[in-house]
Structure formats: structure tokens, C-alpha cells
Copies of this chain bind each other. A is one copy, B any other.
Amino acid sequence: MRIVITGGAGFIGKKLARALLQRGELATAAGKEPIDSLVLFDVVHAEGLPEDRRLQTITGDITDAAEVRRLIGDEVGGVFHLAAIVSADAEQNFDLGMAVNLGGTRNVLEACRALPRPVRLVFASSVAVYGGEVPDVLDDGTILTPQTSYGMQKAASELLLNDYGRKGFVDGRALRLPTIVVRPGKPNKAASTFASSIIREPLAGQEAVCPVERDAAMYILSPRRVVEALLHAFELPAEAFGMARMLTLPGITASIGEMVDALREVAGENVVRRIRWEPDPVIQKIVAGWPARFDARRARAMGFQADASFTEIVRAHIEDELGGVIR
């Protein structure tokens, strides 16, 4: 079976690709099927992946319907749709966000619909679908009034995916991802980027700036767990989702203080001292507006798992990204 990952050059896409190659198979409605071919589609080539005859990287434009249709050809047996413009970018460049985040998803859905049989499609949505006046603890019954264009585009995409699923066009599943921490690599344009920086940079011997106070809380999932969740979502039977093919993944709620305490516990005070506290009222306000507490019992009942603790998240980062070595 041929599997396509859109946004395959991103860090989640590449981690997912490694996991898929290692497993070598995926459960579909037809049972376990071997992965003969894995395509990473993105605007740039995916770098740094192992040599593997099953692996293919394709560069292209998710907003081009014909291109996406060629990408998701008749031999495709499953799709992970991760391609997106991040939130700050989608807010600044409205038309680009609409074209990539909503239009791109529509293109993927239409390409899947054209296949000879409905395939499984896992879509990376986001807790950014929530916003506005929401309760302190959210759940899968909480209404969506996103307050960013990114969140709106993800929410609208979920609605489409759910209806394409109901119509039997594609067997879609949408996962609302918490903030992913610790992201490897460099800071990006997201307002949440500091949450990874304050762990990643000190562990690599570099300074990091923390723009929010210790008591700010976030809803977090590690890269390891998000890859597990994507695979699990693909392999669940369609019936497990019932009438709503979207769900919020279980995460942990951690304050910045708790995150830093976990870093201290794992790496010591010397490492923590590399964090400079420079509260930025703008970022502070953005972060305070994010829902931090979710009751993800539906996803838990379906077998999705959060990290056990933030300490576990720090340890996993050191193992996966630093070869076990703290500077």
C-alpha cells in the first residue's frame, strides 16, 4: 500500500515517516497491510531521512487541485494530511491561510473522494479551533468559536472532513493537536514557540528568553505522543468515531513554572539558569487566551494517550534529539 504524508518535510511529518518505515505496515479496514511506498509531499524536500527504497519525496503546491489529485493517485491506500500554514502566518496572510489550510484540505478531500475506494485520512487539526467564550475545562462538546483565521480554517476543514466521511467519500479522522512541546529545530513564527525554546535551547547549552510568567498554563503533547496518536487514529475502526470524526487529543496541562521545574529536575539548575525571564505583555496576553484545560475522556476511551508528565517530555527530547547528552 502507498501512504502519502502532506507537510511531510515538517518535523512531525518526518517523525511520522520514520515510525511508518520502522513499522512497515498499517491496519486498514481490510486488515494489516504492508507499506510498499511512502510519499512525503511538501513545498520543500524532506531532508535528513534514512535511505529507504520505499521512501519518496515530492515537492509541490497543496493549493493546486490537479497536483494533489496526481499525488493521491489510485494506488494510494492512506493519507496523513499535515500540511498547513502556521497560526501567526495565517493571521497575517489571510488569503494564503485560506488557500493552504482550507483550500488545501478541500483538495486532499476531493482527491481522496476520486479514489476507487474510500481510504483512511488522518487530518492534523488543532485546539486553536477553540476560542472566545468557553468554559474553564473544555471537552469534545464545547462549541467552536475560533478567534484566529488558522483556527477557523481548521474548524471549517473538520466540518468538511466529517461530511465527506458521512457521505462515504473518504474515511476521515481529525485530531485536534495540543501545543507540541518540545519541538526540535529552530523557533518558528508561532506565539507558542517559546514553550519549546525554553527547554530546547538551555539543554543545548544556549540561552532562551521566556516571555511569559511562571503561572501561565498550556495544553501540551510531546512529538513522540503526537506520532503515536496519528498512527492510532489511522488504525482505529471508523465506528470508533461515531457521528463526529473530530476529537481533541489528550494532553497535559502544565504551567511554565512546572515546565521549568521539570527541566531543573532532569538537567539541573545550571541549565535552568540559561532561561532569561523577560515578560512580554503581548505574548502573555495571547497565551492567557488559549484554553489550557481539556477533558479528553472521549479520546482516552478510544485509546489515545497523553504524556505521563512534563519530566517525561523533557527526557524524551533528550533521548530523541540530543542522543542522550545535555550540554
Contact = CB atoms under 8 A, between A and B. Distances in A.
A244 B145 contact: yes
B167 A160 contact: no
What size tier do the contact residues of chain A reach? 20 to 34
A143 B142 CA distance: 6
A94 B147 contact: no
A207 interface: no
A106 to B, nearest CB: 9
B133 A242 contact: yes
A179 interface: no
Given A132-B244, A133-B243, A159-B152, A143 B143 contact: yes
A243 B132 contact: yes
A243 B152 CA distance: 13
A145 to B, nearest CB: 5
Interface in A145-163: 145-147, 149, 152, 155-156, 159-160, 162-163
A130 B160 CA distance: 14
Contacts of A243: 131-133, 145, 147
Contacts of A142: 141, 143
Interface of A: 94, 131-133, 140-147, 149, 152, 155-156, 159-160, 162-163, 166-167, 242-244
Given A144-B159, A152-B162, 8 more contacts: A132-B244, A141-B142, A144-B144, A145-B162, A147-B243, A149-B163, A149-B167, A152-B163
